[in-house]
Amino acid sequence: MLDDDKSRLPTHHASSTHLQRRRPRPLISFLILATILYLSVFLWQSRTQYIRVPRNAHNIAEKCSRLRLLPSPPPDFYNRKESDRFDASLAPTKPIVVRNATIWTGEVAEGLEVVFGDVLLDKGIIGGVGNVDSIEGEVEEINVDGAWVTSGIVDLHSHLGDFSSPSLSGSSDTNSRKGLAQPWLRSVDALNTHDEAYRLALAGGVTSAVVLPGSAGAIGGQAFPIKLRPTSEKSTSSMLLESPFDSPSHWRHLKQACGENPSRVYSGTRMDTIWSFRAAYEEARKLKEKQDAFCEKVEVGRWDLLQNKSFPEDLQWEALVDVLRGKVKIQNHCYEEVDLDGIVRLSNEFNFSIAGFHHAHEAYLVPELLKKAYGHTPVVAMFATNGRYKRESYRGSEYAPKVLSDNGIEVVMKSDHPVLNSRYLLHEAQQAHYYGLSASLALASITTTPARAAGLDHRIGKVKRGYDADLVIWDSHPLALGATPIQVYVDGIPQLPHTPTAVHPNSQKGQTAPQTPQFEEEAREAVKADGLPSLDAKEVTGTVVFYRVKSLYLRIHGRIFDIFQHPEAEKVNNEGKVLVRNGEVICVAGVDLISTTGVKTCDSSDLDHVAVDAGIDLEGGSVAPGLSSYGVPLGLQHIAGEISTGDGRVDSKIAGQDIVRAVDGLQFRTRDALLAYRSGVTVGITPPSLGLATAFSTGAKHKLQSGAIVKEETALHVIVTLNAQEESVSTQIRNLRKALVDAVNGGGEGGLGEAFKRVIEGKIPLVVAAQSADVMATLISLKKEVEDLLASKNEKGEKQIRMTFVGAAEAHLVAPEIADAGIGVVVTPTRPFPSTWESLRILPGPPLSEKTAVSTLLEHGVTVGIGVFTGSGAWVARNVRWDAAWIALDSNGAISHAEALELASTKLEGLLGVDVEESDRFGEMVATRGGELLEFEGKVVAVFSRRRGVVDVF
């Protein structure tokens, strides 16, 4: 801004000399001469103005020259000996050398480089990689015994700290909702330092995150990259990584969104949203033009034309002006082709580039469109399997990361925390790898690629000399299922409680990247069908032989046995054969099983002389019981966000006397159910929020098809929660007590009364969704109270009611009491997160605690089943196989694959009142090729059951 009090400099040119008044000499002639001279100078001078040049002209000139400066690290950045984030009061006193590491450095095209050697961490930076020989002074050496080491994980899309956990009414700071385009807002202003999730995400190896404002607005505000570790200053600002407040050479960040969210929040349409962008960028363009015009004059010294004018500024639009100047990384939430197209057009109208398209569920269908974006092709930041929760994500595909990278587009996996718990961002990369993304690109998708998309690739995302000392030592190959950090360093500071002096990688988990299945054909089909490939199976009736079966798991009396490992079974090599006729296992070749299992051993007539309708080579895979899914409204909706595509809302209070039955609202052939089916989840157990749950076959075509309904009414489901808006916990308990006592006393009217009577008679379980240990304790007392009453009334009959807790985040705190009360627990989700106050006291599991809720409950003798996160959409049902496998991996050998399968099938079904009928015998069976159902090597190729009488081949 020009100062009012100005120094006087008479000049057009900075080089002009000062004017001096000349004193006339006594000599007349000289006086005349001087006068003439004076007058001529005066006349010349009068043509020139005395103009005001601001005292801070230098600052203004500098400000103008800075406009053209593009963000970049200082030239001597890699000579730094100490990080600007070095925190002496938290850092270890000695430098650390991690020895004998298998280092995925992130270097070389596609991050192919793997170095075996050492990493030196000193003063917050990586001092050396490879052979770190001798170091002056004392160091701490850690021998990691060949363990995998990567850079810390970078989450390009997080609301960590802005949408705080636990979620409280005072903590929803992600969206402003006061306007469509608000580039002046800053996520840093809402960043809560006390969020529970920092510690948890660090335990998953996440060291940095870009905290974005939400997607309610088209321009939601400025984003800020942070590191997740606690700082000695404990302030929000000290968490920032390369804050733009500190230096104009640091990148700025902006969140944009298009499509449904801005439309919904502002009751507008896509047209309104795109106009709001154009109107905002037009403001910015005009302001930029004014600034440029101003600075052009400054640069040629034309202060005369700038009299009383100040540098054109506007706090509301300056961030967008910086976008137009190429100083801002834009992360753009944008799903559908129509929206991507709108933003690509916008970027070319106003000439700015997009760093990344986020969510972008249709990006893989239009790779050439993305390449038309201004400047450079954006990265695409995705979920692995989270989809179909609204129209925008309905055509999403698990093959999208592969398809995009095959088309030369860079892929990022992101959490959108707390949409997905960022602690498990690595699992997103693992799933992308499972569905076809190369191992190196999968690792890059959570390290080097997001670092580059955030303009931070000069210091994070690689294990490289001069980079920030953000490092994760893994207990297995990071793409192996269940990979868990042994130690995490941020700025050279260890973040896990115990610094290992020697590390022993978990031998249970893979130490190499899993050999994932081929999905080329499926990926091609997905693109060809515009995201909606047929999910129908080929139905084979008659005789099917599965060859090269390495393991066979069978359900026998509520348990699951690995038959080929059975003590009475002869050792089977990879040549096991299973013969199936009309969906039923007829015999098994190579092992005598009759005595233990009732399964006949095939003789040569079975195998050699029958007409085989299909032979399926499992290549060392397995045949195992199908899993069940509980926790999400599988079968009740096609698209969660679209009420017209599903069952709709259910009266959630104990009110009136009628009972809702989930079976009456079932929708078959939802894509989520069919995808679950193809992932080995053959039964969906779905409750209404209050009423009678049902169990159905995820692969059935409609309700009336034979075998479609596994059990019509399974259990009575109720909820007791601190989160009920209108009813206190004590009111909810009163209602429940009244219903139970009425039932004992023979009262209770209508369908609901009937249902409670069946509970009292022990015919169906009472399933209570509860998270809080205190609520569970109250329910344990209530159960006893009702049972005492029952005993006093009912000398001969049932004295116990079957009760199951679901959710049960804090169940481990009352595990012995739950066991004593004979209550079963369905843990949902298996990897807990403190999203609400009533689920705050989670047992986080390795590496933060040795035990998990599941292992603790099992140790106390509680019957345990596992379900999926009730806060997710139905998409999550397909991932039960990984959840079950993870539990086995976390147990250090205590839980076998067979037992892990039970948790998600026989145990779960028993707890929820689903009794697989006798006639079914083995229930539904799933055949996987290349590996087991619970392994990243296995691909589901067929599902069969006697109930349905066919083999469904995929």
Ligand X SMILES: *[C@@H]1O[C@H](CO)[C@@H](O)[C@H](O)[C@H]1NC(C)=O
Residue 89: exposure state from Cβ atoms within 10 A (0-12, 13-18, ≥19): exposed
Outline where 794-916 has alpha helix (H): 815-820, 853-859, 880-890, 897-903, 906-911
From the CB of 118, what's the least distance to ligand X, in Å? Answer: 8
From the CB of 351, what's the least distance to ligand X, in Å? Answer: 4
From the CB of 288, what's the least distance to ligand X, in Å? Answer: 8
From the CB of 297, what's the least distance to ligand X, in Å? Answer: 14
Angle of CA points 683, 878, 424, to nearest 5°: 140
From the CB of 562, what's the least distance to ligand X, in Å? Answer: 34
DSSP state of 876: G
Choose between 348 and 870: whose C-beta lies nearer to ligand X: 348
- For residues 291 and 67, is the Cβ–Cβ distance under 8 A? yes
From the CB of 396, what's the least distance to ligand X, in Å? Answer: 33
- Measure the CA–CA gap between 571 and 231, rounded to whole angstroms: 57
Residue 751: how many other CB atoms lie within 10 Å: 16
Q: What is the largest CA-CA distance in the chain?
A: 142
Choose between 289 and 788: whose C-beta lies nearer to ligand X: 289
- Binding test (CB under 6 A) with ligand X, winner from 7, 48, 307, 515: 307
Choose between 311 and 837: whose C-beta lies nearer to ligand X: 311
Residue nearest to ligand X (CB): 143
- Measure the CA–CA gap between 599 and 32, rounded to whole angstroms: 132
Outline where 794-944 has alpha helix (H): 815-820, 853-859, 880-890, 897-903, 906-911
Task: Calculate Rg over the CA atoms of the chain.
Answer: 34
Check residue 559 and give left, alpha or beta (phi > 0: left; psi -120 to 50: alpha). Answer: beta
Choose between 308 and 605: whose C-beta lies nearer to ligand X: 308
Choose between 351 and 723: whose C-beta lies nearer to ligand X: 351
The candidate with the shortest Cα–Cα distance to 825, out of 803, 845, 841, is: 803
From the CB of 350, what's the least distance to ligand X, in Å? Answer: 5
From the CB of 285, what's the least distance to ligand X, in Å? Answer: 5
- Measure the CA–CA gap between 943 and 681, rounded to whole angstroms: 10
Choose between 103 and 441: whose C-beta lies nearer to ligand X: 103
- Measure the CA–CA gap between 578 and 586, rounded to whole angstroms: 8
Choose between 34 and 51: whose C-beta lies nearer to ligand X: 51
Choose between 450 and 505: whose C-beta lies nearer to ligand X: 505
- Measure the CA–CA gap between 450 and 158, rounded to whole angstroms: 12
Q: Does 799 bind ligand X (CB under 6 A)?
A: no
Choose between 99 and 297: whose C-beta lies nearer to ligand X: 99
Site mask for ligand X (CB under 6 A), range 337-376, x = bound? -------------xx-------------------------
- For residues 635 and 665, is the Cβ–Cβ distance under 8 A? no
| 3-class secondary structure per residue, 600-668 | EECCHHHHHCCCCCEEEEEEEEEEEECEEEECCCCCCECCCCCHHHECCCCCCCCCCCCCCEHHHHCCC
From the CB of 286, what's the least distance to ligand X, in Å? Answer: 10
Site mask for ligand X (CB under 6 A), range 48-87, x = bound? ----------------------------------------
Site for ligand X, residues 718 to 757, rule: CB under 6 A: none
- 741: phi then psi, degrees, rounded to nearest 5: -65, -40
Choose between 7 and 307: whose C-beta lies nearer to ligand X: 307
From the CB of 141, what's the least distance to ligand X, in Å? Answer: 5
Choose between 345 and 799: whose C-beta lies nearer to ligand X: 345
Q: Enumerate the β-bridge partners of residue 545.
A: 579, 615
Stated as kind and residue range, the H or E segment containing 382 is strand 379-382
- Measure the CA–CA gap between 564 and 551, rounded to whole angstroms: 6
Query: What is the SS3 assignment for 349?
Result: helix
From the CB of 478, what's the least distance to ligand X, in Å? Answer: 21
The candidate with the shortest Cα–Cα distance to 859, out of 903, 906, 812, is: 812
- Binding test (CB under 6 A) with ligand X, winner from 10, 100, 249, 669: 100
From the CB of 100, what's the least distance to ligand X, in Å? Answer: 4
From the CB of 889, what's the least distance to ligand X, in Å? Answer: 24
Q: What is the sign of the dihedral through the CA atoms of 618, 620, 625 and 626?
A: negative
- Binding test (CB under 6 A) with ligand X, winner from 15, 17, 46, 308: 308
Choose between 46 and 308: whose C-beta lies nearer to ligand X: 308
Choose between 321 and 776: whose C-beta lies nearer to ligand X: 321
Site for ligand X, residues 125 to 164, rule: CB under 6 A: 141, 143
Number of residues that bind ligand X (CB under 6 A): 9
Site for ligand X, residues 190 to 219, rule: CB under 6 A: none
| 3-class secondary structure per residue, 428-443 | HHHHHHHCCCCHHHHH
From the CB of 287, what's the least distance to ligand X, in Å? Answer: 12
Q: What does the CA dihedral 104, 107, 113, 115 come to, rounded to 10 degrees?
A: -60
591 contacts: CB under 8 Å, gap ≥ 6 = 563, 564, 569, 570, 572, 576, 601
- Binding test (CB under 6 A) with ligand X, winner from 12, 99, 391, 600: 99
Choose between 99 and 841: whose C-beta lies nearer to ligand X: 99
Site for ligand X, residues 269 to 298, rule: CB under 6 A: 285
Q: Name the residues that contact ligand X, by CB under 6 A.
A: 99-100, 141, 143, 285, 307-308, 350-351
